Each structure stands twice: as structure tokens, then as C-alpha cells.
Amino acid sequence: MNTPEELTLSLLAIDDDPQSLLLIQDALARDGLEILTATEPLRGLELVRRKHPPIVLLDLMMPQMSGLELLERILEADPGTDVILMTAHQSIETAVAAIQRGACDYLTKPVSLDRLRQMIGKLVEEARKRQRAFELDRQLLEAFQFEGLIGRSPLMLEVFARVRRVAPHFRTVLLTGATGTGKELVARALHKRSPAAAGPFAVCNCSAVVETLFESELFGYVKGAFTGATQDKVGLFEYAQGGTLFLDELGEMPLGMQAKLLRALQSHEIQRVGSPTTRKVDVRVVAATNRDLRAMTAEGRFRDDLYYRLSMVEVHLPSLAERKEDLPLLERHFLTRFAAQYQKPIRGLTRRAQALLARYSWPGNVREFENALGNACMMVEGNTVDVRDLPEYLRVTTSEEADSEDRLLSLDQLERRHARQVLDHAEGNKVRAAEILGISRGTLYRLLAESGSRPLRQNSPAVLQKK
């Protein structure tokens, strides 16, 4: 259980009357509650930005700035603050205006001390509950981390259990799942928990390799094998000797190369380009794809014998939309990481920001979620991320999705529509759009091609018109 010292809270009272501040201090003096005071609005705003008190008592009528104006500036600095307005001029209209602008309650002067203590007592207890929840979230985050992967949903717990069972024994594993679901993290987890953990972990992004260079990239070449081969080169299979080779986006590998990969997996031998000599290799292979390889084999675009060889052990990673109960853990993880990276005292997200993130479909999965929170943490000025700090495309898209909840669209259709929206937001810059979505340019081109839309050029009339 947390100690009272760990749950010490601060309350800020802002009033141009020093006597009122003394009265508040005497009435609310209690263990675990630090009372801060300010007689000037700007001084009070400075304390809000520096101390971030969860509770603020605010006089409505003050020189320099009205209480309603100061209320807006306080909530702009820290949207999570509970603000109570106090005034000697009772007015229902003013009370309604205060509540509409974000105040949590309203008191009239002379303030009833019993009413004040009761109100503050409830807010203090709620703030302490939030602190305890924050601590529990931190403990849960530690408990539900697995080799860099985070989740407590049944789908992710099943992935963790499957990796634990497979890692000590596998020779080949196939990882399937949409882009951004964490396939490389799973590949590293398999390597780390395998008997080959002390060996190297090599990565080949199949979508980034030119078709004519595939063989030399995987198997290496000898001097003189072709023009420009001035010395021997070790391929990824040899480099990963005694370790693990991760073949990412395997569905992009050309058919001719698939046959050579199959031979290497079956015989545990490779041949460098230009050499007749075979070399024995002891390498575990993890292949990953966001494509439907079974459908590709039926269409003749992927070798069925290679598919069956790889799919002997298959681990499927769920999309973020399928495990939204993991969002709070992921939020805490990324906020903690980016707060340290940007050296900002970020405590969390406002409830409305959490609601917006929960409504969004996340076609780019965890990678897109990470990018969105990274952007928000970079932009936020206070210590709480609000809706306004999130990327504009996210706010617009979420609003559009909410307006069309009654329309039944497949996940593929949503992905293609979202890709077009993000490309439009990026003003036709495909590199930026792929970066926002957390996908490769090749995947973006495919989504655009499948949707029948032609990617905008950066200097096209449509883009120039927007600028």
C-alpha cells in the first residue's frame, strides 16, 4: 500500500484578498495536502505551470484578469486540473458559463467551510485514486512486458505463450500479421529465448532488396563473380551462422529466389554467387509477412513447398483494433519513453484524448500508435497530452469514422481509405505518408493501387492548390 508521503497532493488558491487565502489555508490544513496561494492571476498561472496542482480554487473577480479568463488559461496549461470558482456575486449564468468552460464546481462567498472541506475532500480522494491507478498502471506495465512486447489481452498472452514454447526448438518460424503489429520484436524474442541467443541476429527486408541482388544479399559472392565484384562478400546466411536470420516482408520475394531459399532451408547449405563450393550453415530462420501467403500460393505468386516448409510453426500477431484493451498499457509505455526522450514531465493523457485514441481504428497498428504519441509528446506544452496535441489527421479521421459508424466496411477497405486520407494530409508526399502510417513505401503503393487511386505528386496542381 502506498504511504501518505507518496500520495502528497497540492492545492492552489488564487484570490486577490489575502484574508480569504488565510481562511482557506486554515480550513484545509490536513496531512498530505500542500496549500499553495497566489494573490495575482499571473503568479497563480505560473504556479500551475510549474507545480501542476491537481486542484485549484479560483476567485472570479480579480484585477488584471477575470476568473473565467484565468480558468481557460489554467485548463490550457493542464487540462487535467480540477478548478473550483469562487465569487461574492451569485449568478446562475456565471455558474453555467464556468462549468461550460471546464470548471468542476462553483462556490459563493462567504464560503461555507463545511461545504468547502466536503468538496475538497472528494476531489483529494479522487486525485489519490488517480495516483494509485497511475502506480498500478506502472506495475501492470512491468508485469505485462515480454521481451519488448506489451499486452495483457488474451490474444497477446497467447502470442507470448506460443513464443515461449517455440523458441527452444524451432528451425523455421512464420510470423503473420498486419504491418506495425510487432513482428520484428517477436522475431527478436524468439532469437533471445533460443539456444542460438549468443549468436548474431541478421535482418533482411525483402521489400527493399532489388530482385537482381537477392541471391548475393542472402548467399554472398566471390571475387570476379560479376562486374564490380572486387572481393569476396559474406551473405546474410553466413553472417548469421550460429544465430538467427529474420526475413521481413517475405511475400515480396520473387519466385526464382524462393526456390533457392527453399533449397538452403532443406539442405542447410548455401553457395556464394560465382562459386561451385557449397558451405554448411547452422542458422535459424524467422520469416514474416503481412500478405496472405495461402492465397498467393493458390494464385501461383508464392511457392507452396516453401510456404509449407515455413508454416510448420506459425505465430499470428493480432492487429491493435483486435486488442484495444492493451491501449492503456501502450499509452503508459510510450508516454514514459517519450517523456524521458524529450525531457518533459508528461504525466498522462486527458480522458477525452484517451477516448479519441480508443475510437480510432489504428490501421497502422502499434507502429502508428507509437508515431502518434511521439508526435503528441513533442508538441505538448504542459504535462498532460490533450486532443489538441494529437496529430491533426488523427482528429479528423476519428471524427469521420464516428460519423460513419453505421457503414459496414471491411478492414481492407478501411486501410485503403485511411491510406488515401493520410496521403492527402501529407500533401502527396508518399515518404511522409508512409512514415505517419508506420508502413513501408511499397505497402503504401500497394494500398493505393488496390484502392484505384493514383498517388499525388508533390508538385502536382492539386497539391499546389492546397498550399
pLDDT (0 to 100) of residue 400: 59
Locate the domains of the chain by residue range: 4-141, 149-316, 322-466
**Could you tell me the three cell numbers for 237?**
546466411
Q: What is the pLDDT of residue 428?
A: 75
At 375, the pLDDT band (50, 70, 90 cuts) reads very high
Instruction: Locate 366 and state its grid cell.
Output: 502499434
pLDDT tens for residues 389-429?
999 888 876 655 555 444 445 556 667 777 777 777 766 77
Whether the predicted pLDDT of 167 surpasses 50:
yes
Q: Quick one: pLDDT at residue 409?
A: 52
pLDDT at 462 over 70: no
Report whether pLDDT(215) > 70.
yes
Cell numbers given for 115: 461545504
Tens digits of residue pLDDT in 58-105: 988 888 888 889 998 888 888 878 999 887 766 667 777 787 888 888
Question: What does the pLDDT read at residue 61?
Answer: 84
How much is the average pLDDT of 303-322?
A: 95
* Weakest-pLDDT range from 65-69, 129-133, 178-182, 398-402: 398-402
The CATH architecture one would assign to domain 322-466 is: Orthogonal Bundle (1.10)
- This prediction's pTM: 0.72
Cβ atoms 193, 161 nearer than 8 A? no
Average the pLDDT over 92-120 and give the result.
Answer: 83
Domain at 4-141: CATH code: 3.40.50.2300
Please state which CATH class domain 149-316 belongs to. alpha beta
Are 149-316 and 322-466 in the same CATH fold? no
Q: Where does the pLDDT of residue 450 fall: very low under 50, low under 70, confident under 90, or very high at 90 and above?
A: low
**pLDDT of 178 higher than 60:** yes
pLDDT grade, residue 204 (50/70/90)? Answer: very high
Question: In angstroms, what CA-CA distances link 213 with 118, 306, 434?
Answer: 74, 20, 25
Between 49 and 313, where is the model more confident?
A: 313
Q: Is the pLDDT of residue 451 over 80?
A: no
Round the average pLDDT of the chain to a whole number and report it: 86
Distance CA 302, CA 262 (A): 12
CA pair distance 311, 88, nearest whole angstrom? 74
pLDDT of residue 2: 41
